[in-house]
Amino acid sequence: MHYLSSSDSIQTSSLSCLCLTISGDKQLPSSSAQLLNTEQGKEVASLIKDLSFSAGVGEVLLLPRTNERPFHILLAGLGERDKQDSIQFAKSSDAIASMVKSKKLTTVTFSFDETLKISPTDATSILVESFETSHYAFDAYKAKKSDSPSLESVNFHVSADQLEATKNAVSYAQAMSKGRSVARSLGNEPGNVCTPAFLAEQALALGGSSSAINTSVLEEDDMTKLGMGAFLSVSKGSTEPGKLITMEYNGAGDAAPLVLVGKGITFDTGGISLKPGAQMDEMKFDMCGAASVLGVMTAIAELQPPLNIIGVIAAAENMPAGNASKPGDIVTTASGKTVEILNTDAEGRLVLCDALTYVEKFKPAAVVDIATLTGACIVALGHSTSAVMGNNQPLVDKLTSAGLEARDKAWQLPLWDEYHTLLDSPFADVQNIGGKGAGSITAGCFLSKFAESYPWAHLDIAGTAWVSGKDKAATGRPVPLLLRYLMNHVGQ
């Protein structure tokens, strides 16, 4: 699909479909009317008033071609003007993309007018995301494949002073969408395909296809030498060897890097602390933190910003084999701290804690770990919002702000001292679970003990990384949040 940005005036003689945004007052904006001749303008204004089209958020209506108007007009409702924002526009944008797809339109043209409350560049970015999302399909294992998209080009007409910003917005949205699709597809892969080795292969392939990314993989023997007893306590119960994957992007010389660390449990049975059988199939999504890191690094390879960024994936499979870890086992982490494993289903924090120690070697400016870590996070925040916590308030603020900008929200939870005491162990330096309450917070407290030498934040994406049920699928979150967070550092 091609996205074309132009400051040239629209030639209606070459139009296939013109999209007009309409606010709740149902008035045809004067700038939109100027695109049409007198008769066409009267016709469209009359139809807007007469048809059952309220111009509400997400309401779309396609006006077919006529002899006097040889092109489609797609009316997109924006709702009441004083309530419009990027989130509301995204709903309308998704509806536009859905209509274009269902009607098999090949070309659609946008000219933003005075009804639009958000900037044309923001609107452009949101529309590109919607079109890319509407064309995503994961059908690798189906005999009948999805139909190829009919849409060939999307044209954005803006003023000359907005042209460069619009082109940049298109490039950013395409890169982000590509990264998000990578994350979605990795999450959707079945556990018998997407193993730690498979994740390593994908990371190596990214490095091979982009000279901007340098990928390396630590094997279990390497981790043994580094004393990663916590990581290995998880991977040892599986015939699939664990992998610690590092992807390095250098665009800023010797500057301290921004580091992302993703939890990559490619299948989580719970280990000896076995999970219930119902919906256990969805535990293939327990590597969505790792998938988001791969997705972000894919986007970074496209955008090539003047930053240093490192993506690390802690990949393992958690299985209940005869040599698997048992509740009550004590292991020594790469940091030298000992951990009493009270529940083998709290395994994500065990692979992450050694990865957090490992990234100290990069002398990072900041570290963010991303993990489908706790069911308690879903209880606290549901499926619309990720949890964020950390040891550095400015870093947490940057993440929550980026989430709002990217419409990929996160909400801060506390890491107060009283929660840390819930992890006290009579036999080791720390135990891997707290009590029944504050499960997301105590998981964050556990990780914080291994991130004391740099600014660190933790994103718990257990509620946002995938959708459950009949239409279960990975969402690709929080790729939008993470990419926006990284790109906000450009020029700082």
Among 26, 103, 236, 275, the one annotated catalytic: 275
Partners of 315 in the β-ladder: 243, 264
Q: How far apart are CA 446 and CA 411, in angstroms?
A: 19
Partners of 415 in the β-ladder: none
275 is catalytic: yes
| Amino acid (1-letter code) at residue 336 | G
Pairing of strands 308-318, 386-390: unpaired
Nearest Cα neighbor of 473 from 273, 308, 274, 282 is 282
What is the per-residue DSSP string for 247-312? EEEESSTTSPPEEEEEEEEEEE--TTSPPPSTTGGGGGGGGHHHHHHHHHHHHHHHH--SSEEEEE
Look at the alpha carbons of 319, 322, 327, 329 in this order and tell me if their dihedral is positive or negative.
negative
Which pair of tokens denotes residue 192? 């018998």
- Which H or E run includes 168? helix 163-188
Nearest Cα neighbor of 106 from 73, 64, 149, 63 is 149
Among 167, 184, 349, 484, the one annotated catalytic: 349
Nearest Cα neighbor of 90 from 49, 132, 148 is 132
Q: Evaluate whether 342 touches 330 at the Cβ level (below 8 Å).
A: no
65 is catalytic: no
The single residue listed with the structure tokens 């135990």 is 431
The single residue listed with the structure tokens 């619309």 is 384
Task: Point out the residues that are catalytic.
Answer: 275, 349
